[in-house]
Amino acid sequence: MMNTNDFDMTFGPSSMSDISSYLYTYACHETERALCLMELTELFGQGPDGADWLESERRVDPDRSPFLSACLDVKMIGESIESIAEQAGRIQLNQTTFKVVCLKAGDRFSYDQLRGFERMVGGRIEGTAQMKSPDVTLGLISLNGIWRLGVMHEPERAWLEHKRKPQNYSTGLSSRVARALVNLAVPRISGATLLDPCCGMGNVLIEAFSMGIPAEGRDINPLAVRGARVNLRHYGYDDNKVAIQDMNTLHGHYDAAVLDLPYNLCSVFPEEEQLRMLKSLRRLSDRAVIVSTEPLREQLTDTGWKVLSHCTTRKGSFARDIWLCV
How much is the average pLDDT of 158-183? 94
pLDDT score at 21: 85
Tell me the pLDDT tens digit for each residue of 215-266.
999 999 999 999 999 999 999 999 999 999 999 999 999 999 999 998 765 5
* pLDDT given for residue 183 in this prediction: 99
Quote the pLDDT of residue 270: 86
pLDDT of 59 higher than 50: yes
Rounded to 5 degrees, φ, ψ at 20 are -80, 175
**Are 275 and 256 spatial neighbours (Cβ–Cβ below 8 Å)?**
no
What is the tens place of the pLDDT at every residue in 180-212? Answer: 999 999 999 888 999 999 999 999 999 999 999
Mean pLDDT throughout 70-91?
A: 97
Residue 287's pLDDT is: 98
3-state class (DSSP) for residue 256: strand
Residue 18 predicted with pLDDT over 70: no
Q: Who wins on pLDDT, 137 or 50?
A: 137
| Alpha carbon 319 to its chain's center | 21
For the chain, list the domains and their CATH numbers: 4-153 (3.30.2130.30), 158-325 (3.40.50.150)
55-78 as b/e, with b when 16 or more CB fall inside 10 Å? bbebebebbbbbbbbbbbbbbbbb
pLDDT band per the 50, 70, 90 thresholds, residue 170? confident
Residue whose C-alpha is closest to residue 61's, from 194, 188, 177: 188
Share of the chain above pLDDT 70, in %: 93
pLDDT at position 264 is: 62
